[in-house]
Structure 1
Amino acid sequence: MARYLDVHPENPQRRVIAQAVRILSEGGLIVYPTDSCFALGCLPGNAEGLDRIRTIRQLDSRHHFTLVCRDLTQLGQFVRLDNTAFRSIRAATPGSYTFILPASKEAPRRVLHPKRRTVGVRVPEHPVVRALLAELDEPLLSSTLLLPDQEEPLTQGWEIKERLDHVVDAVLDSGDCGTEPTTVVDFSEGEAEIVRRGAGDPSRFE
């Protein structure tokens, strides 16, 4: 049965964040709010957690998972950035964007796209996930919580708890989340290519 963690949306309680971090550190899979919509997350080294995300979302091997990072410095450990991409991403973070970039040697192999050797990365703006990342001091391996039988992501923590009670370990609820996923920008070929228009303003990359 999943733990239900009620967390303040603007001033996350340290004890609640610590509980979530402990669950993650023990190999758990959590649902947490972001500045776009709810997401599934585990630690990058958690192979079982990755498999559980694939099962919940019914994903194949071509799906781009995302490393959710504390800041641009942490993000830069896992991807290769040229000057153009660095400047563009710095201006847009934190924010509701996911960037696809060539992976560095430090990127976990299990999160790489099998053919392109790329990885999705983002720096979110939501206070709850930022508190989680600060306490963890490492990224979250993450995927939008969009269930196979749903056209839009679930928006309420209590409903997620009911639906996923026996397949996740904790649900962090800070109130209603949005339904619009991040804007996805692909920098893997050098130039910005908008792959998906979402919560982040895409005009800065056009």
Structure 2
Amino acid sequence: MAEFVRIYEENPNPKEIDKVVTVLKNGGLIIYPTDTVYGLGCDITNLKALERVARIKQISLEKSNFSFVCHDLSNLSDYVKQINTTTFKILKRALPGPYTFILPGSKSLPNPFKKKKTVGIRIPNNNIALDIVKKLGNPIISTSIRDDDEIIEYTTDPELILEKWDNLVDLVIDGGYGDNEPSTVIDLSEEEPVIVREGKGSLEIF
């Protein structure tokens, strides 16, 4: 049975955030709100937890395209090769916000992602998500629970999310109704930016 925790986005309660972080540190999986859709996440440094997420998504960890949810741009140097000023300016303008930026991966990526040429970075404009990664001290990996074949409420209404995911995860956060529009994905790993998916984030950041 997953724990169900109500956290208010305007002013997340530090005690509740601590509870979530303890679950993550113990290798647990969480479902949490972002500025787009609810996400499934775990501690990026916990291999067993990463493998559980990959199993749920029915993919091998090495082939997965999970996003790294960071607290701010200071985390980037751990996972991303040095980026140029233009790229940095785009990131500064857009984040925190409903974007996933694909950037060249660095040599210091966690083991399962070592062979990856690129990584997807997310800094969502949501205080709950940001407080969790800040308190945890490193990113969480994240994948959307949105499913095109499903009734929307099962990915936006926290109580129905709990009903569906109860036996798969350790904790579900009720952060209010979620959105059903995913993040805009922009590939900044080459010379020219490439729009991979148009979502909630405006393209007027260039």
Return the TM-score normalized by structure 2.
0.91
Match of 1:24 in 2: 24
Task: Select 1:98's aligned residue among 81, 97, 100.
Answer: 100
Give the drift of 1:75. 2.0
CA distance in 1, matches of 2:112, 2:149: 26
> Does residue 89 in structure 1 map to residue 101 in structure 2?
no
CA distance in 1, matches of 2:48, 2:33: 22
Match of 2:203 in 1: 202
Give the drift of 1:151. 7.4
| Runs of 4+, deviation exceeding 4 Å | none
Change (3 A) 1:76 1:68: same
Match of 1:154 in 2: 155
Alignment size in residue pairs: 203
Secondary structure of the structure 2 residue equivalent to 1:85: helix
Give the drift of 1:149. 4.7
Assess if the C-alpha contact under 8 Å between 1:65 and 1:111 holds in 2. Answer: no
RMSD: 1.8
The one-character-per-residue Cα deviations of 1:17-71 (angstroms, maximum 9, x if unpaired) are 0000000000101000000110011111222222222222333554311110010
Q: Which amino acid aligns with 1:36?
A: T
CA distance in 1, matches of 2:150, 2:57: 10
Secondary structure of the structure 2 residue equivalent to 1:95: coil
Change (3 A) 1:16 1:175: same
- Structure 1: where are the runs of 5+ without partners? none
Give the drift of 1:180. 0.7
> Does residue 132 in structure 1 map to residue 132 in structure 2?
yes
Change (3 A) 1:151 1:100: farther
Give the drift of 1:111. 3.5
Match of 1:55 in 2: 55
Match of 1:121 in 2: 121
The one-character-per-residue Cα deviations of 1:127-184 (angstroms, maximum 9, x if unpaired) are 1111112211211111111348537570011111111111100001111010111100
CA distance in 1, matches of 2:111, 2:103: 14
- Structure 2: where are the runs of 5+ without partners? none
Match of 1:141 in 2: 141
CA distance in 1, matches of 2:102, 2:28: 26
Assess if the C-alpha contact under 8 Å between 1:68 and 1:139 holds in 2. Answer: yes
